[in-house]
Each structure stands twice: as C-alpha cells, then as structure tokens.
Amino acid sequence: MEGSILSVVIPAYNEEKYIGPLLQKVAALDLSRYAIAKEIIVVDDGSSDRTAEIAGSFEGIVLKRLPRNRGKGEAVRTGVECAAGDYLMIQDADLEYDPRDYIPMIEAILRDDVDAVYGSRYLKYPRRGKLVNLLTGKHPQQSWFAYLGGQSLSFVAWFYTGFYLTDTVTALKLFRRGTLVNMRLESSGFELDHEITAKISARKGRIKEVRVRYYPRSREEGKKIGLKDWFIGVRAYSRYRQDH
C-alpha cells in the first residue's frame, strides 16, 4: 500500500465552533506508519457563519463552497467528486467523532477484504453478541430519541438489505475509492448514508464495523438531524436496495 492517499471529506454547515479544532486534529494525525498521506477536503454547505473562513485559513486544506445550503448528501458528493485518494473517509464537522479512530479503521480496511469500514458508536463489546451491544450501546449523554432512532434504522437496513449493522447512521465511514466513485449517488440529505449502505449490499459488498469513540451533542449545541430524517432514511433503503 506504499504511496496511498486518504481523502478525508468533511461536509460542514454552520460549524464555526468546531471546524477549526477538528481540522487541527485531522492534520495532526500521523499515518506515515501505513505509508498513507492525507488529503483534507472541506465542503462548506452554504454556511451563514465563519465556517468557510476558518477552514480556508488552514494551509493545505482543499475548500469547496456550495452557493447555498443543499444538504449533507450534496456536500459529501461534491467532496467525493474532487477526491484523489485511494481511500475516502467521510467525517462530520461537529467533533462528535475523534479522528484518532481513523487508525483502527485504516488497519481494518488494509487487513480485511472489505469494501467499507464503519465506525460504530454502539459496538462496546466487539467480541460479544449483537444483543449485548444493542442493550449496552447507548452513550450516557445521548438522548433516548437519538439512540432508538439509530437502532431502529439498523433493523430497517437489515429488513431491506440483509445487513445487520450496529450503527448504520454513524458519521465516520471509510471506503475503498472504487466503492464510492463507481456508484451513481443521488441523495442530497442525510439519507445519503442509507443510499450508500443499500447499494453496497445490492452489489454483494462487505462492510466491517470498528468500535469508535463518541461525544454526542444536543440540538441546542447544533445537532441537525431530526425525526423527518428517519422516515427519509426508510424510504432510501426501500428505493436503493436494488441499486437502480
């Protein structure tokens, strides 16, 4: 894998509080032991605050700006289109996830014959059964609404795709380049996560989960996903389960 590139795609909408500290953490991450260089791409999704200004102040960052807010999915697709990496990491800009967890995810995709690695917030006991992790996965600071919404989507994904994943809505996902660039992605909102999972399943691909750290934030702190996104997610699995 000598000479590989990891493209980190960061969709960001009104994240002036978090984007700077996140970029510092991503830039500081040393992947030289794997002979992997980083390409960091921030896609500003029409922010009305200083998100783009802060991101643009970092040397070496690729900054793409959408003229208006078009949704996380559109921002991710924009980042993927301009990414040059052999591997693509998608990370939200809100610091709920720790870039240090790129390490076990990279090790998993280098070691295993998989198409993608998802960072699971709920895989507290990787060597124990799914039921144990289902019952113990909730973070103390995460709302029951958010936890049950995510867990129920795991069962929705299983129903439509045959995949059971402990955390389908994780915002830390790593892909081999070909897994994403060979897909005709369509979604513009949060449902892009579900479109990708459904299409990997339809192509008989493989997804591995790796335990990651999680620092949940509330709606008052800027969390944007809501109840309507649950229903949109269900519709996405139904629509894309056959990869059309």
Give the pLDDT band (50/70/90) at residue 5.
Answer: very high
Residue 116 predicted with pLDDT over 90: yes
Q: Measuring CA to CA, which residue among 223, 213, 215, 209 is closest to residue 121?
A: 213
Give the model confidence (pLDDT) of 167-178 as tens digits.
Answer: 898 999 999 999
Give the model confidence (pLDDT) of 57-75 as tens digits.
Answer: 999 999 999 999 999 999 9
More confident residue, 53 or 225: 53
For the entire predicted model, the pTM comes to 0.86
CA distance 47 to 167: 28
Residue 191 phi, psi (nearest 5): -70, -5
Q: Measuring CA to CA, which residue among 235, 142, 222 is closest to residue 194?
A: 235
